[in-house]
Structure 1
């Protein structure tokens, strides 16, 4: 599993974890939330590990607020676009990344900034489409 976080202020390093999502939350989300400070709001998708009771209980115990996501909501989480870009970058390479650093290098910081800057436009389009399909 690979975990990374992005915000308006910047991004974390990529972390490769041998264990599941709860490990990522314990090891990475808590310090990231602390670094961002008051008003931190975690945006995850509805992946089964993210909505598991044990994960939700951990977030509640730690005082970490997570955004509610309807089951069929449009995916406005820019990190999903990063995973897509990373996947395409890896598949375009003639040789697969051999190290975590090579894997991390497939994510270009400017791409992350571009995606974050595009969020107001993305949100407007979803609102205009009344939650329906947009070109994103």
Structure 2
């Protein structure tokens, strides 16, 4: 129900929508953002000691992620989808 409401609202305000292949989470640029976040967390010294430290570290590192990297990933979506289509749904370099 919520998905339908959100989809309808996005259409009403003119936000472009992309049909997403069901088994293609690797296309999603957020996966690369999570990887960048993990790398930043792994590089922290000292590492987070407990859940509270982890929460603080996650917020700090999330806020420090370079926006140009995220925009580069978003802009790569057309190329990502074209590569998957060209590979007939097979593996791509992405």
What is residue 115 of structure 1 aligned with on the other side? 73
Mapping of 1:1-136 within 5 angstroms? 57-60=1-4, 63-65=5-7, 67=19, 69-70=21-22, 72-73=23-24, 75-96=26-47, 98=53, 99=56, 101-136=59-94
Q: Aligned-pair RMSD on alpha carbons?
A: 2.3
**Structure 2 unaligned residues grouped into runs of 5+:** 8-16
Q: Give the alignment's TM-score, normalised by structure 2.
A: 0.65
- Residue 127 of structure 1 deviates from its aligned partner by 0.9
Offset, 1:83: 0.6
2:84–2:92 contact (8 Å) kept in structure 1: yes
* Greater fraction of residues in helix: 2
Instruction: Look at both structures and tell me which one has the larger radius of gyration over its CA atoms.
Output: 2
Q: Which has the higher contact order (CA 8 A, sep 6+)?
A: 2
Seen in structure 2, the aligned counterparts of structure 1 residues 106 and 95 have a Cα distance that, compared at 3 Å, is farther
- 2:12 corresponding residue in structure 1: none
**2: distance between equivalents of 1:113 and 1:106?**
14
- Structure 1, unaligned runs of 5 or more: 1-56
Instruction: Tell me: CA distance 1:68–1:119, structure 2 relative to 1, closer, same or farther (3 Å).
Output: closer
- SS of 2:27's equivalent? coil
Scaled by the length of structure 1, the TM-score of the pair is 0.47
